[in-house]
Amino acid sequence: MNPELQRFLAISAVEPVAGGCIHDCYRVTIGRTAGRTARFIKTNEPRYGDAFAAEADGLAALRAAGMRAPEPLSHGVAAGRAYLVLEFLDLGGRRDFTELGRMLAAAHRQSGPRFGWERDNYIGSTPQPNGWCEDWAQFWIERRIGPQIELAKRNGFDIPTPSMKILEHHEAEPSLLHGDLWSGNAGFTPRGPVVFDPAVYYGDREADLAMTELFGGFPREFYRAYNDAWPLEEGYERRKHLYNLYHLVNHLNLFGGGYLAQVMTTLQLLASG
């Protein structure tokens, strides 16, 4: 860790830990007296200051909705580094996916005024535009899949824009979404499941559920518990491909052509319906 940032935050001990592929992450001890406290800190270049502010905003929103998430304590830019200080959580608990499914369904019951969010944020390191929109299909094409496809074209990938016809007659509610909910962004503490690294907004709850099926997926008990709490509507099995296309194209933009075949397969699935 940057020694000047360490002094600025009054950190007395530092231990590097895993925390994703973008940021430098540490378990630190703050203070030098009997009141020393363990914290989790992310740091990066100063340009990531806005991303850390958006992450803190998202974590606070999820916590306010009743989800277990690390408490954001401070963030900013100092000593030439952007930083985010979070509550440190012991991820050594029982893997209770049933409770995770119930917790997510309860958070999705938190309804917003419209689709979107009060500020832009990030999906990974990609800017995620938000704002407010009355129509879900319009929001999805203008603020989600459309910008990703335009970025893919600038990156040299010729990706066609999918039809929004699949969303016709689908009455989506503006539920509070985690926004980036895959298995790597959920864990389990002795007190129960916890989520982190959000990209929050108000949107169709199916978008969160769809992403949980990507990149390994969650166990069946998670989906059983969610559906017991709030059953999914008919047509989800088709709509989920449109929602996951957003994340697949984002991965194409972030990590390159290794995701192109999966993107094109998903587009074919949507076109065949």
pLDDT score, position 242: 97
Question: Could you tell me if 176 and 109 lie in one domain?
Answer: yes
Question: Could you tell me if 205 and 247 lie in one domain?
Answer: yes
pLDDT score, position 272: 84
Total tally of structural domains belonging to the chain: 2
Last residue of a domain, one of 36, 60, 87: 87
Last residue of a domain, one of 54, 87, 120: 87
Question: Could you tell me if 33 and 71 lie in one domain?
Answer: yes
Look at residue 12 and tell me if it is in a domain: yes
Question: Could you tell me if 266 and 205 lie in one domain?
Answer: yes
Low-confidence ranges of the chain (pLDDT < 50): none
- Paired residues of 29 in beta bridges: 13, 38
| Two structure tokens written together for 150 | 């335009």
**Integer Cα distance of 25 and 42 in angstroms:** 5
pLDDT score, position 48: 96
Q: Which of 50, 57, 180, 208 is catalytic?
A: 180
pLDDT digits (tens, 9 = 90+) for 204-251: 999 999 999 998 899 999 999 999 999 999 999 999 999 999 999 999
158 among known catalytic residues = no
Type of residue at 269? L
Nearest to 137 by CA among 171, 112, 107: 171
Question: Could you tell me if 117 and 159 lie in one domain?
Answer: yes
0.85 cut: is pTM over it?
Answer: yes
Look at residue 49 and tell me if it is in a domain: yes
**CA angle at residue 129 from 128 to 133, to 5 degrees?**
135
Question: Could you tell me if 173 and 248 lie in one domain?
Answer: yes
pLDDT score, position 22: 86
3-class secondary structure, 98: helix
Look at residue 92 and tell me if it is in a domain: no
Look at residue 28 and tell me if it is in a domain: yes
Last residue of a domain, one of 19, 54, 87: 87
Question: Could you tell me if 40 and 73 lie in one domain?
Answer: yes
Question: Could you tell me if 171 and 240 lie in one domain?
Answer: yes
Look at residue 150 and tell me if it is in a domain: yes
Residue 65's domain comprises 3-87
pLDDT score, position 32: 64
Question: Could you tell me if 51 and 107 lie in one domain?
Answer: no
Nearest to 73 by CA among 20, 28, 126: 28
- Paired residues of 74 in beta bridges: 85
- Paired residues of 186 in beta bridges: 195
pLDDT score, position 97: 97
